[in-house]
Structure 1
Amino acid sequence: MLYPWKDEYSVGVSRFDSHHKKLFDIANQLHEMMKSGKGAEVIEPVLRDLIDYTKYHLAEEEKALERIGYSGIAAHKRAHVIFTDQLNEGLVEIEKGRAMFVVVKISKAVIDWLIDHIFVVDHKYTAEMNAAGIH
């Protein structure tokens, strides 16, 4: 496993920890598929799953932050928009038939972004989420 989940990534909200773990799992699956020489026709659906699940997670996180009136929501949403734009660029490349090029870029980008985002941005909401009764 190239990108193992670590307990220190926990944001103190079990639902979002589960989402993050699933994203790590999909990215690791992509990496393993690529290492074993799977073709674009096999990798592309998994890559689309990674992109789709990432977008789903970001939307769910934003809904929860809105529900509690999170103080840092504007900056949080901006970070999500920037990353979603990168994912959309990846989808354009896939549609051009460049899935193998995109898999390296996107799988690593998702994990790198997640780790950075979890530590720098997501950990900021932990106290407010927990205070609102969301664990």
Structure 2
Amino acid sequence: MKEFSKTLATMTRPFSFVHKTLSEFGFVRPRTHENQLYVTTFADSITQRVYTLAIPTRLLENGHTEVYLGHTRFETEELPPSRVVEAAICRMKELADYLNQPNKRPHTVETASNGYMATDSYDIRRLGNEMKKMKTNSELKQTGLIPDPIQ
């Protein structure tokens, strides 16, 4: 379709990212096309027809996938109604935005912000003093309290 080729380009991303993103957008890989296409359907309530939209892809040797967004097409003999085409263009532009996002990699332990840790000797002494005030499991048992099973 001309509408797609005007605005959408080919992009290359890791397979897992492409597959996850396309699946979240309702696309599936039918087995009949040797896994080179992702398809989804658009239903038109006025004509009572369902139109299949296909995005061609190519798996590369390095584990990445090329997504040919500009070659997206409807797999029908006649052109779908303009409202269906407009809905498809809107979805494809949104999909392109998601695929253009940089790959988000998990933070390393050094950069993760997953809690407060002692950063200097002052913090270590403060935490040590707090721990001195805490009762041990045996002291908790003597007072009739239930100890923490993890300790």
Q: TM-score, normalised by structure 2?
A: 0.28
Higher strand fraction: Structure 1 or Structure 2? Answer: 2
Q: TM-score, normalised by structure 1?
A: 0.30
Q: If you compute each CA radius of gyration, which structure gives the higher value, 1 or 2?
A: 2
Higher helix fraction: Structure 1 or Structure 2? Answer: 1
